[in-house]
Amino acid sequence: MKKTVLIIISLFVLTIMQAQTKLPVYLDDSKPIEQRIEDALSRMTLEEKVKMVHAQSKFSSAGVQRLGIPENWMSDGPHGIRAEVLWDEWNQAGWTNDSCMAFPALTCLAATWNPEMAALYGKSIGEEARYRNKNVLLGPGVNIYRTPLNGRNFEYMGEDPYLASRMVVPYVQGVQKNGVAACVKHFALNNQEVDRNLVNVTVDDRALYEIYLPAFKAAVMEGKAWSIMGSYNRYKGQWNCQNEYLLNDILRGEWGFDGAVVSDWGGVNNTEQAIYHGLDMEFGTWTNGLSEGKSNAYDDYYLADPFLDLLKSGKVNPEEIDKKVRNILRLVFRTNMDKNRPFGSFATPEHGLAARQIAEEGIVLLKNANNVLPIRLDATKKIAVIGENAIKMMTIGGGSSSLKAKYEISPLDGIKNKVGTAVHVEYARGYAGEKIAKQDGLTAADITDNRSPEELTAEACRVAKEADYVLFIGGLNKHDGQDSEGADRKELGLPYGQDQLISALAKVNKNVVVVILSGNAVAMPWINEVPAIVETWYLGSEAGNALANVLTGDVNPSGKLPFTFPVQLSDVGAHKLGDYPGKDYEETYHEGLFVGYRWNEKNKIKPLFPFGHGLSYTQFTYGKSVISAKSLPADGQLTLTVPVRNTGNKAGKEIVQLYIGDEKSSLVRPVKELKSFRKVDLAPGEEKNVAFTVSVDDLKFFDDTKHEWIAEPGKFTVYVGASSADIRSTVDFELK
């Protein structure tokens, strides 16, 4: 009897212990995420739910400490992990271990035309975000390049929706492999910084679906992005962070997005619309706790106490808060509650190597008359380096993408390191911009120069006159009114009298190489006065090393332009039709579908440099394109192959581009549109057959009267070339 009692007691104790050690469903990662979400939701109070949908600090939102659900911590991207800031301020927190690796701007990534580089970029920056315990990276940006004056174009991926789509997917996937959510931004139609908080965009549905939405759609449906950030501007009269059409109808309804929608900082303007129109998390709303008499100003956010009051009064159905919290919990379970989340790494040599590789592949050789480049170091005694951008830090400034970089190799230092003592490198300022301003407590090295333009020009010409090569390193910078968030450029030309300086240098030396640092196209009135022009974008920590490797030929340039360089602003549809930047905060995209090269080809306008253009230190010849059949069945595909040969004496990479044109359509269409591309690596004398597939999806356009994508039977032409304007081969086929 006594033994039996002991056994019963033991079994009872064991049962209690098992019950005590059994995890709640929401903490059991062996259970399906949707089951865990519902379990966690059922355990939360109304107050806890509301706290999750709005910020608690500048870059974080609350978890539920009682249940062990962690906070969400965001970091600005998309070019590096932002330094830590104070809890409720933009200024630096003063940490000594938050200096990141600065990666090239996204214009440079797009210019690689290499999805493998996008995957490397996403993997590397995702590792940095994870190491800093951020579970949401605020990037990448994929707004379309509509005007070269947009101050934020450098954060985006160019003018073509197909190119941006192919580059954003591997970036998103690379980030999220680290247990960090990519937050693709700014959804949508955020194509200018002028009046960005007020402007209402009117655009026809065809342009919306064919030009401005595809990259977002690819990020969601192919990349499986876990979060999306709304934009500041309005569409159909509603602010886009609380826009029923974009967030409910398209993002969730048509694309099936199941992630969290995050507001841009200060992008929410109305409690009711924020409740019902698809927003999940509110950040950066201006609050004033003192005048409101509240100890915590975050409680006065649109989705804070005002939302809670409506829920408690019964005026809002509790399902509205549950919808938002489900999406946030899904984000949490995918990121900082995933036990298999890797630990990440930060500012490592491997990340520096990745940054340099991306930079090298993105640099674009625009012009190279008489094969001035690469620099022949064995026959060079003196190189003159001219220009402020040769010594100016480019990682600080520009708005939310400003970085506290672990290091930044300037172009001048990169060139000096490359040539060593064998070649004399002499620097002259040439021009001077405005004094460097602080951003968020970060200050670049002070390079103020108060000499007159005449003095600077005279010195530059003296230094340049006797040099074997003159490297003019100029372009734009990250100051307000150039490549920077919050304001657009005032003109297409270069600032600080650079155009005049370049012409002066060309008069004293025939070997002037113009190196442009920018995220936008610039006018080049001196284009016929210099033999070589290089577009280098903003290259991040490894800027100088990457540039030096390309200029000296250790790396053969292989980047191509992700947007068109116009001769003048009137060659751009947004400016020719007179609607930019809008009137009374209303702007209509009169050019519709015809953005970038589509506009040029429709109107037979010759650009300064076409979309897809980029030269090499070797030469590539294209053979005749061969298509597998002359007709495409509605449910099948065709294969097109084109032989490409490296006929030069250096190994190099060529980007083979495939465009398709519809010979006759019921609705107006561009002359041709990019539908595929391949980056192929060829040794000297090597030839490869580059293969493409063409399916019915490649032929479709958006019929706004039917609200669907359709392909009409008829004749189509495939154009294969080295740029949108350099077509090497064409072939026709028919859709039955």
Per-residue pLDDT at 346: 98
- Which pLDDT score is estimated for 288? 66
Query: How far from chain centre, in Å, is Cα 164?
Result: 9
- pLDDT of residue 16 exceeding 60, the answer is no
Mean pLDDT of the 310-333 span: 98
| pLDDT exceeds cutoff 70 at 493 | yes
Give the mean pLDDT of 479-495: 96
CA distances from 734 to 662, 702, 727 (A): 10, 20, 20
Residue 177 amino acid letter: K
Give the span between the Cα atoms of 579 and 131, in whole angstroms: 45
- Between CA 233 and CA 240, with CA 237 as vertex, the angle to 5 degrees is 40
Give the Cα separation of 723 and 674 in Å (integer). Answer: 10
User: Other CB atoms closer than 10 Å to residue 245's CB: what's the count?
Assistant: 18
Residues 266-283 have pLDDT tens digits of 999 999 999 999 999 999
Model pTM?
Answer: 0.95
pLDDT for 439 equals 79
Residue 12 confidence (pLDDT) above 80 = no
Mean pLDDT of all residues in 379-393: 97
Distance CA(281)–CA(60), nearest Å, equals 10
Q: In terms of Cα–Cα distance, which of 605, 597, 527 is closest to 570?
A: 605
Query: What does the alpha-carbon distance between residue 87 and residue 587 come to, in Å, rounded to a whole number?
Result: 37
Residue 544: which pLDDT band, with cuts at 50, 70 and 90? very high
> Which run of H or of E encompasses 413?
helix 411-419
Please write the tens of the pLDDT for every residue from 550-578: 999 999 999 999 999 999 999 999 999 98
Q: Name 94's Cβ contacts closer than 8 Å, sequence gap at least 6.
A: none
Give catalytic residues, as residue numbers: 264
Stretch 624-642: mean pLDDT: 94
Q: Looking at residue 632, what is its pLDDT?
A: 94
For residue 644, the SS3 value is strand
User: pLDDT at position 21, please?
Assistant: 58
CA distance linking residue 633 with residue 631, whole number of Å:
6
Rounded average pLDDT over 615-626: 98
Domain boundaries, the chain: 349-562, 618-735
Where does residue 458 rank: exposed (0-12), middle (13-18), buried (19+ CB within 10 A)?
Answer: middle
Whether 474 and 482 have beta carbons less than 8 Å apart is answered as no
User: Per-residue pLDDT tens for 204-231?
Assistant: 999 999 999 999 999 999 999 999 999 9
Taking a C-beta distance cutoff of 8 angstroms, is the pair 614, 559 a contact?
yes
Instruction: Give me the percent of the chain exceeding a pLDDT of 70.
Output: 96
- The secondary structure of residue 436, as a DSSP letter, is P
CB 717 within 8 A of CB 731: yes
In which band, very low, low, confident or very high, does the pLDDT at 14 lie, cut at 50, 70 and 90?
very low
Q: Do domains 349-562 and 618-735 have the same CATH topology?
A: no
Q: What is the pLDDT of residue 457?
A: 98
Residue with tokens 């300064």: 608
pLDDT at 485 > cutoff 60: yes
Segment 135-152, tens digit of pLDDT: 999 999 999 999 999 999
Just give the CATH number of 349-562. Answer: 3.40.50.1700
Q: Residue 19 has what pLDDT?
A: 46
Q: What is the mean pLDDT of residues 159-169?
A: 98
At residue 289, the pLDDT reads 62
Considering the domain 618-735 in this protein, what is its CATH number?
2.60.40.10
- The pLDDT score that the predictor gives to residue 293 is 63
Average pLDDT, the chain: 95
Output Rg (C-alpha) for the chain, integer angstroms.
28
Describe the strand order of the beta sheet including 512-517 as a list of residue ranges: 364-368, 532-535, 512-517, 469-475, 382-386, 424-428
pLDDT given at position 460: 98
Tokens of 610: 């076409």
Peptide linkage before 78 cis (omega within 30 of 0)? yes
Query: Average pLDDT, stretch 659-666?
Result: 96
Token pair, residue 370, equals 């008489």
Q: What is the pLDDT of residue 3?
A: 52
